[in-house]
Homo-oligomer: A and B are copies of this chain.
Amino acid sequence: MTLLSTRDEDKRMPQLNRDDWIAAALTVLVEEGIDAVQVTQLSRLLEVTRGSFYWHFKSRDALLEALLAEWRARNTGVMVDALTAAQTLSEGILELFAVWVDHTRFDPRLDQAVRDWSRRADGVLKSVAQEDDNRVRSIAAFFETHGYEPTEAFIRARVIYFTQLSYYSLGVREPLTERAGFLSAYYQCFTGNSLGEGDADAFLARMARNGVST
């Protein structure tokens, strides 16, 4: 709701611009899915008439294109970047975990919404598929640089990424303490190695400092 701050409750904040419509559309996309992103509903939400929308956008499709562009700009490359900086295996994997829990760097709800959308829009599907491919590839490359055979690296990359996707997709919510208890088990399963206690504690401490929400 903070996304509508420019207008909102104030009587007559000057005017809406293109980005206001996109911001509103993004929240609706995340909350209720792409089918709920309708000109009429957004107008009601922004408390203007549809006339306004059709001044800023050529059509609903134009808005949807803008949404996809926004997703690309936000969620692309975040995971890849996390890995390229890492020196050791554990550092990289833990940093990946960190990205996935840090919703300021990676927005899982938006990612999920776009993914749902993509299942019934071929154009979107292509974008998402390519992005997924990039992510898995970069994780696999990371494993390879740390001594894993190509096939094993690829499969481990898939397993770790696919697991996380389902984590989001099923909307798993569990308390931080419980999640912390799973850390080394996940690490063991994903890498085949044990996680040093020092590394685990340092990671959990860092998470606690950053105060991750879920």
Majority secondary structure, A binding face: helix
CA distance in complex: A35, B34 (Å) = 12
CA distance in complex: A189, B186 (Å) = 11
Q: Shortest CB–CB separation between residue A41 and chain B, in angstroms?
A: 14
CA distance in complex: A159, B159 (Å) = 7
Contact A182 B155 (CB under 8 A): yes
List, in ascending order, chain B residues with CB within 8 A of A155's CB.
Answer: 182, 185-186, 189
CA distance in complex: A170, B128 (Å) = 9
Question: Which residues of chain A from 176 to 206 have a CB within 8 Å of any chain B CB?
Answer: 181-182, 185-186, 188-190, 192
CA distance in complex: A156, B156 (Å) = 13
Q: Is A33 an interface residue (CB 8 A)?
A: yes
List, in ascending order, chain B residues with CB within 8 A of A189's CB.
Answer: 152, 155-156, 159, 189-190, 192
Q: Shortest CB–CB separation between residue A109 and chain B, in angstroms?
A: 11
Q: Shortest CB–CB separation between residue A164 and chain B, in angstroms?
A: 8
A132 to chain B: closest residue by CB: B170
List, in ascending order, chain B residues with CB within 8 A of A169's CB.
Answer: 115, 165-166, 169
Q: Is A119 an interface residue (CB 8 A)?
A: yes
Contact B186 A33 (CB under 8 A): no
Q: Is A167 an interface residue (CB 8 A)?
A: yes
Contact A159 B186 (CB under 8 A): yes
List, in ascending order, chain B residues with CB within 8 A of A152's CB.
Answer: 185, 188-189
Q: B-facing mask of A142-162, CB < 8 A → 1, else 0? A: 000000000110111011011
Q: B-facing mask of A96-136, CB < 8 A → 1, else 0? A: 00000000000000000001100110000000010010000
Q: Is A163 an interface residue (CB 8 A)?
A: yes
Q: Is A32 an interface residue (CB 8 A)?
A: yes
CA distance in complex: A170, B162 (Å) = 9
CA distance in complex: A27, B1 (Å) = 38
